[in-house]
Structure 1
Amino acid sequence: MTRPRSRTRSFMSVVAVAAAVLAAQTVLAPAAQAFPSVERYGGADRYTVSALVSEKTFATGVDVAYIASGVGFADALSASAAAGIQNAPVLLVPSSGIPDAVAAELIRLAPSRIVVAGGPASIDDETLHDLRNYSLIVDRLDGANRYEVSALLSSDVFRPGRSVVYVASGAVFPDALSGSAAAGSLLAPVLLTAKDAIPAVVLAELSRLQPGKIVLMGGESTVSPEVARQLGEIAPVTRTSGADRYEVSAATAAGFRTDIETVYVASGLVFPDALSGSAAAIVNDAPVVLVRPDSIPGTVAAELGRLRPKHIIVLGGPTTIGDPVLTELQQYIGVSK
């Protein structure tokens, strides 16, 4: 349930709603499972899933919590990397209103600061105002477009002299879903680019960051050779690509060592569940790999076989990733390293 636009809740009514939602979640949320295991983080909708991912990952009293649109993907792609390195969650909201599950999670988290990623077209001013029920400091990082927002998210957190910066398409989501987790593991930002040209604000942020190298996510159909050439004038460029989004996610996960505890699995067809999952993956030094709703692509299966994690977390409900995939994932659980 999302708060109607026409009603502003008092803090006490917010607390009452939150208490009811938390009580319900103790019954509805998946129970914690011991290693080795395959566990699903599912919920009634993308907002509930984001709250559950946060609840399962982050302790009360976080320094910051990020709020991003659950309708569009662009702002959360960069927010995930910024959040993850600060041990912070990414919670999703619609363009207007705060879903009850998210309200409950914000009360539990008690963040010192809330960062809203994106402008009023993504998350309206009334919702921004209502977020002050949950933190004394609420900042909006707003820009003319998704590229400027990605640059602002980076400049808000990352200091110059980065060893690496990740760059991904701002027009499509799959490459950055896996790239955000990989970037966060290296304390690196994710910046978005157009296919055929690097926006000026992103070029300025790259100049400020002075990276030692740049990882370009995705093939030439999403980010052109011309953009790769322009990036090469700033720092050496390595392109992570593949025949499809699944192969790109497997190639990204290949950068993780084989003694990791956890792997996150998300749908390659829809974006919302992985947006919050990427921040959680960063905290757990874990990759995010993509699967189809009804099967595990061969390149991803091979990478799971290499990683042999003790714990696999599936992001989203059975309509996003079917139960047969969870059963198939069991064979990739490694009892010992």
Structure 2
Amino acid sequence: MSFRKNWLKFLLSMALVFTITIPAMPLQAYAAQAVENKRLAGDSRTLTAIEISKEGWTAGSNAVILVRDNNFPDALAGAVLAAAYDAPILLTNSQSLSPDTALEIERLQAQTIYILGGTGAVSAAIEEDLSADYTVERITGGNRYETSANIAKYLQDNHKLLTKKAVIAYAQNFPDALAISSWAAQNGVPILLSETNSLPAATSEALTTLQVTDTIITGGTGVISAQVESKLPDPTRYGGNNRYETAVNIINGLGQATDTLFVATGLNFPDALAGSALAAKQGKAILLVGNGIDPSVETFLAGKVGQINKIYSVGGTSVVKPLVLNQIYSCIVLEQPAEAFANAMNAIKALDQDTVDRYFSYDGLMNSDESTSTTITDENIASFFTKLDYNIVSSAINGDTATVTAEITNTDFAAVLDAYLDAVMKLAIEQGLLPEEEQLSDEEAEQAIQELLFDAIANEDQTTTVTIEVNLVKNNNSWTITMDDEFADAILGGFISAFEDLLKE
């Protein structure tokens, strides 16, 4: 039987617990975070649009903009119409009205429903059903160019355009149009669509009908060519190397307010579309992100330290990820070393992997070639930090480095180890008295000794407190903390040092 090999193997995996990936948990609020974050999200794009509607139109709305939930062309110009009638944008299945959307329309006590697109986008059956209780206005055209032009003409006919400007956006993709949608809506500027190398007849005609004197092009020449630009009245272009840089250049170039930002994914359209109506209502900008933040976005945010008070995350954690929000915060929040330390410790206690990864460098932590197949559950890991607490004694900054002196308290894992070894010895003796065929297999033995350790942790009431000096290095507007052996041992209640002492015996 190989009890010694098994418990040593398991203990070593515990001593190196910080090299094991902690399961991702929801983003925790920073202790000293001055930037409010509010996530507007539902379990689907339709439900997310409803949450946005509830946030912006708590007392209801006379009108609703209704668009198809799985295709973007007819909806790209919708934000301007939404702002003109102070209406939210809601989504529906193209064939039948989504029940949740129907309930939200009832809550809003809407009187007029504006459907964007033809019956292929939002069916005649939906229009007929809605017509029984509401005034329904469908704005459509023979194609996406005509639809956007007809929305603009509808606004003109109803005296809702506030300028002789127009936005020209690429028709075959959504990010550039959505990036400027909030500004266009706030300023009563229609959004018209174009091909890359030719200006559609419907768009050209609309420019004449609307008597447009100035145009704003969204995107580089790869989406709206110089040839098209030459046919536009007094054009100004806001483009970039990608959709994220274009969005940043739109915000900067048009001078949009950034005390509040609406953060939406640039990888799909529904959340940004619905969010654009609320962003316009509040007079704020839309910032597009991907699975991380683009360097252009990072540069933009670095210039906004202390200026951003609130962030709306539009969409769930799968589209605007906690890691992305952490990256944004690291750019805009100027933390003190003590704040960074507190946030990092709180993240460990909460098993918040995104925030742990943001703050810690593991270069100073011991390494081992020992491999193990031991399975450690979320609950197992959490048991190591049940009694973890800290008290910051002092902090000091020296240029780009800093130190934080802190008292760290946790379960006394030296006492846990003593109790654990007694239990292992008792099990070994019991097993040794059994016939070999009745003894536990190696796999069973490993499972048994794992259970003994976590039983010992659960039964230990004694705590230990150590005072250590933690080293930090400046990282943009925050700090990176060096996770060395001393710090790891303090967090683990002396487990590593107790284990090392055991190996010396």
TM value normalised by structure 1 = 0.82
Return closer, same or farther for 1:35/1:109 CA change in 2, 3 Å cut-off: farther
Amino acid at match of 1:301: E
Report the Cα offset of residue 154 of structure 1.
Answer: 0.9
Deviations 1:149-168 (A, max 9, x none): 00111111134772421110
Deviations 1:245-300 (A, max 9, x none): 0100100111454754321111111111111111111111111111112x111211
User: Which residue of structure 1 lines up, in the alignment, with residue 270 of structure 2?
Assistant: 272
Matched, 1:296 2:289: no
User: Which residue of structure 2 lines up, in the alignment, with residue 72 of structure 1?
Assistant: 71
Report the Cα offset of residue 85 of structure 1.
Answer: 3.2
User: Which residue of structure 1 lines up, in the alignment, with residue 174 of structure 2?
Assistant: 173
Report the Cα offset of residue 192 of structure 1.
Answer: 0.9
2-structure distance, mates of 1:162, 1:334: 37
Q: Secondary structure at the match of 1:326?
A: helix
Amino acid at match of 1:300: V
Report the Cα offset of residue 51 of structure 1.
Answer: 0.8
Paired residues for 1:217-232 under 5 Å? 217-231=218-232
Deviations 1:297-327 (A, max 9, x none): 1211222343432111111111112111122
Q: Secondary structure at the match of 1:290?
A: strand
User: Which residue of structure 1 lines up, in the alignment, with residue 93 of structure 2?
Assistant: 94
Amino acid at match of 1:218: G
Cα-Cα RMSD: 2.1
Return closer, same or farther for 1:223/1:105 CA change in 2, 3 Å cut-off: same
Paired residues for 1:113-124 under 5 Å? 113-124=112-123
Note the residue ranges of structure 2 that are not aligned, 5 or more in a row.
1-32, 335-505
User: Which residue of structure 2 lines up, in the alignment, with residue 251 of structure 1?
Assistant: 249
User: Which residue of structure 1 lines up, in the alignment, with residue 433 of structure 2?
Assistant: none
Report the Cα offset of residue 88 of structure 1.
Answer: 1.2
User: Which residue of structure 1 lines up, in the alignment, with residue 390 of structure 2?
Assistant: none
Report the Cα offset of residue 100 of structure 1.
Answer: 2.4
Amino acid at match of 1:114: I
User: Which residue of structure 2 lines up, in the alignment, with residue 60 of structure 1?
Assistant: 59
1-structure distance, mates of 2:213, 2:50: 36
2-structure distance, mates of 1:75, 1:258: 25
Return closer, same or farther for 1:316/1:167 CA change in 2, 3 Å cut-off: same
2-structure distance, mates of 1:85, 1:140: 16
Deviations 1:318-337 (A, max 9, x none): 111211112233345579xx
2-structure distance, mates of 1:230, 1:51: 40
Return closer, same or farther for 1:161/1:325 CA change in 2, 3 Å cut-off: closer
Amino acid at match of 2:301: L
Conserved? CA contact 2:183–2:256, under 8 Å: no
1-structure distance, mates of 2:50, 2:133: 14
| More moved, 57-66 vs 183-192 | 57-66
1-structure distance, mates of 2:177, 2:256: 22
Amino acid at match of 2:226: P
1-structure distance, mates of 2:109, 2:64: 9
Return closer, same or farther for 1:246/1:49 CA change in 2, 3 Å cut-off: same
User: Which residue of structure 2 lines up, in the alignment, with residue 106 of structure 1?
Assistant: 105
Q: How many residues align?
A: 297
Deviations 1:97-138 (A, max 9, x none): 222221121011112211100001111111112223552x10
Deviations 1:20-69 (A, max 9, x none): xxxxxxxxxxxxxx973112111111100111111101243423211011
Amino acid at match of 1:247: E
Conserved? CA contact 1:67–1:117, under 8 Å: yes
2-structure distance, mates of 1:201, 1:300: 35
Task: Select the residue among 126, 138, 141 that pairs with 2:139.
Answer: 141
Return closer, same or farther for 1:161/1:320 CA change in 2, 3 Å cut-off: closer
2-structure distance, mates of 1:269, 1:161: 31
Conserved? CA contact 2:168–2:217, under 8 Å: yes
Conserved? CA contact 2:162–2:189, under 8 Å: no
| More moved, 151-160 vs 266-275 | 151-160
Q: Secondary structure at the match of 2:37?
A: strand
Report the Cα offset of residue 210 of structure 1.
Answer: 1.7
User: Which residue of structure 1 lines up, in the alignment, with residue 194 of structure 2?
Assistant: 193
Note the residue ranges of structure 1 that are not aligned, 5 or more in a row.
1-33
1-structure distance, mates of 2:109, 2:133: 7
1-structure distance, mates of 2:250, 2:88: 22
| More moved, 199-208 vs 275-284 | 199-208
1-structure distance, mates of 2:95, 2:206: 30
